Chains A and B, each alone.
Chain A
């Protein structure tokens, strides 16, 4: 019997494997990949000392009071940030929704004003969420000084971009016929939104917002590292002073907070479903 044809995938596979290996080398060099560094005496000592300080976690009353304040501040930052982001997201998201366009009803492809506005909204949203919240926070700390205000504004801007885009997408993907019928019957955009789109989309919109709130809790912790208040700022200070006990308490608080936010958001979203 004849020998089977050669494997047609053999050459491409060989090529890709070689390419991957060739690329891996500069990756390792660029990232200064030295696992041995983890075991160097100096690093081991620093880490050991720090981790050794973890036990016992700091429980002095005045520190705990500070911790509690920072925790509440973190939660407040997340909540205020999301509230602020809605101010951006709702109008921009609605602007992007084609099912609410009146000019598209008539014959033709719709007014060019509407199209330009929609494109503009899309672009603004892309820039808002394109710059990470931490960079915004770093910039705002320069303007407003250290503290939660910078964090809230940064969250508001980035999450405004994300929520606006997703709101637009959700509204676009819901059944547009009820809204269209209302618009054709001469009702306004707001009425078409409330009676035509929201009944079908509300649950998904709320669910996504809750999910984003959960992300915002994490993000507001992190933003503390650039001086925007909350648990992160406390953690940053403790780390800089290599105070293991405080860091352990903060980390534990932080884990509980994140898991609780996770749980609450999951619970709310299940209730909505």
Chain B
């Protein structure tokens, strides 16, 4: 036996394979049927119906508007999340005592653990159908994610500048803005941009549960078996994701 492969590792691999096998067995996946000739034909037919994408002016205008709405949802929700996350990260990093720290950390975990789409279904109830619900849902989940990252960044930041300001009598908010924020700002910005890239993708999907944006259009088109329209929407989603990635990368470089 080669050195470095221990009994434990072998056991782990065995367990892993067993888990994978059990998963497929439990799900009763028609994997065999997938690779039969008729299934392949069906799939090919299905794919064919997506081409060519619908490029009628009417529909393009509709998609453009929905794309704009999606962009707005992603931007505003990220912005809101940054503000909320900053507010929660300060206590979560242990700056307002132990109790506040625990409460903030618990809230962040809760916000983060509930996925965007679940938040969206809840927010559709709370705020009615439409982009506002989607904005709130994304903002809530993103607050949880960013809050934890922001708090980590705060914990790893040198305290000397803030302490110096405190010892010259500066109030808490001013101390944070002058002594801590300049230190963490680049990292916070990088995290926020990274989440924005994720949120543009999520915002495109929230429409599935009625929370506005491109997703709603995709859902309708597929429900009505207008596959050509659907492929236009999917292309629009891809394009937006690529553009946002580019803008975000540019902003990150410019701010560094």
A and B touch in the complex (CB under 8 A): yes
CB-nearest residue of chain B to A229: B27
Chain B nearest CB: distance from A40 CB in Å?
Answer: 8
Check A47–B126 contact: CB distance below 8 A. Answer: yes
Interface residues of B in 23-54 (CB under 8 A from A): 23-24, 26-27, 29-30, 42-43, 46
Most chain B CB within 10 A, of A47, A80, A149, A199, is at A80
Q: Which of A132, A143, A148, A218 contacts B29 (CB 8 A)?
A: A148
Q: Using CB atoms, name the residue of chain A closest to B136.
A: A38
> Chain B residues with Cβ under 8 A from A259's Cβ?
109, 113
Within 8 A of B (CB), among A105-162: 127, 130-132, 134-135, 138-139, 142-144, 148-149, 152
Q: Does B1 contact A (CB under 8 A)?
A: no
SS class, residues of chain B in contact with chain A: helix
Is A27 engaged at the interface, CB distance under 8 Å to the other chain?
Answer: yes
Residues of A within 8 A of B132 (CB): 31-34, 37
Q: Are B27 and A77 in contact (CB under 8 A)?
A: yes
Q: Residue among B76, B125, B242 with the most chain A CB within 10 A?
A: B125
Q: How far in angstroms is the closest Cβ of chain A from B239?
A: 10
B222 at the A interface (CB under 8 A): yes
Residues of A within 8 A of B208 (CB): 134, 138, 225-226
CB-nearest residue of chain B to A239: B121
**8 Å CB contact of B23 from A83, A199, A232:** A83
Cβ of B110 under 8 Å from chain A: yes
**Are B117 and A130 in contact, CB atoms less than 8 angstroms apart?**
no
A50 contacts B by Cβ under 8 Å: yes
Interface residues on A, range: 35 or more
B residues near A232, Cβ cutoff 8 Å:
117
Residues A217-273 near B (CB distance < 8 A): 218, 221-222, 225-226, 232, 235-236, 239, 251, 254-255, 258-259, 262
Which residues, 60 to 116 on B, are CB-close (under 8 Å) to A?
68-69, 72-73, 75-76, 109-110, 113-116
Known contacts: A32-B132, A37-B128, A37-B132. The answer to whether A76 contacts B27 by CB under 8 A is: yes
* Least Cβ–Cβ distance between B61 and chain A, in angstroms: 15
Complex Cα spacing A239 to B26, Å: 26
Q: Does A30 contact B (CB under 8 A)?
A: yes
Q: How far is the CA of A65 from the CA of B30 in the complex (A)?
A: 24
**Are B128 and A131 in contact, with the CB atoms below 8 A?**
no
Measured between alpha carbons, how far is A262 from B108 in the docked complex, in Å? 14
B202 to chain A, nearest CB (A): 8
Please tell me if the beta carbons of A33 and B27 are within 8 angstroms of each other in the complex. no
Query: What is the minimal beta-carbon distance from B226 to any residue of chain A, in angstroms?
Result: 12
Q: Does A73 contact B (CB under 8 A)?
A: yes
Whether the pair B72, A225 counts as a contact (CB closer than 8 A) is: no
Are the C-beta atoms of B73 and A31 separated by less than 8 Å? yes
Q: Establish whether residues B237 and A80, one from each chain, have CB atoms under 8 Å apart when the complex forms.
A: no
Q: How far is the CB of B153 from chain A (nearest CB, A)?
A: 19
Whether B218 pairs with A222 at a CB distance below 8 angstroms is no
B125 touches A50 (CB 8 A): yes
Interchain residue pairs with CB less than 8 A apart (20): A30-B72, A31-B72, A40-B128, A46-B126, A50-B125, A79-B23, A130-B238, A131-B237, A132-B201, A132-B205, A132-B237, A134-B205, A135-B218, A138-B222, A149-B27, A221-B115, A222-B115, A235-B121, A239-B121, A258-B113
Which B positions have Cβ atoms within 8 angstroms of A? 4, 19-20, 22-24, 26-27, 29-30, 42-43, 46, 68-69, 72-73, 75-76, 109-110, 113-118, 121, 125-128, 130-132, 134-135, 201-202, 204-205, 208-209, 212, 218-219, 222, 234, 237-238, 241-242
- With contacts A130-B242, A221-B115, A258-B113 known, what are 12 further pairs, Cβ within 8 A? A31-B132, A33-B76, A33-B132, A37-B127, A38-B127, A40-B128, A46-B125, A79-B20, A80-B23, A130-B238, A138-B218, A262-B113
Instruction: Pick the 9 closest A-B CB pairs, nearest first.
Output: A30-B72, A76-B23, A79-B23, A80-B23, A31-B131, A83-B20, A32-B132, A258-B113, A76-B26
